[in-house]
Amino acid sequence: MVDLENEVQTKLIKGLLDYIILQYLNARQMHGYELISNIRKVFGVYFGPSIVYPLLASIEKKKYISSCWNMENGRPRKIYTLTAEGKELLVFTENKLDTIAQKLSSLANEDFSSSQE
């Protein structure tokens, strides 16, 4: 049962990974490794650089985030920032997730026995 729970959680987190990244960047600027670490710590799921960095590039190409290089501490790091378009997408996604959750909740209370013919 634990394996099934982990599988379901991983699928859900992976499906929402772009939204989760936007949420983190809404709080503050972050570099990729910081995002990977926070996702692992909070959600208990590890998505490595081969998943996260291409996703960041895709989100940036769509103009939902922007990036710049930070050269402090002698190590170059690409810092990601949420854009205005990203904030709009975040609000839209939150609203859609609320709608989906409400529909799922109403399905749990619905009687389907009379709808089958």
Greater pLDDT, 73 or 67: 67
**Strands of the 30-31 sheet, one edge to the other:** 30-31, 77-82, 65-70
Mean pLDDT across the chain: 92
The domains found in the chain, sorted by start residue, are: 2-106 (1.10.10.10)
- 18-58 pLDDT per residue, tens: 999 999 999 999 999 999 999 999 999 999 999 999 999 99
pLDDT average, residue stretch 84-106: 95
Q: Is the pLDDT confidence value at 81 over 70?
A: yes
Task: Give, as one character, the DSSP assignment of residue 64.
Answer: S
Return the pLDDT at 15.
93
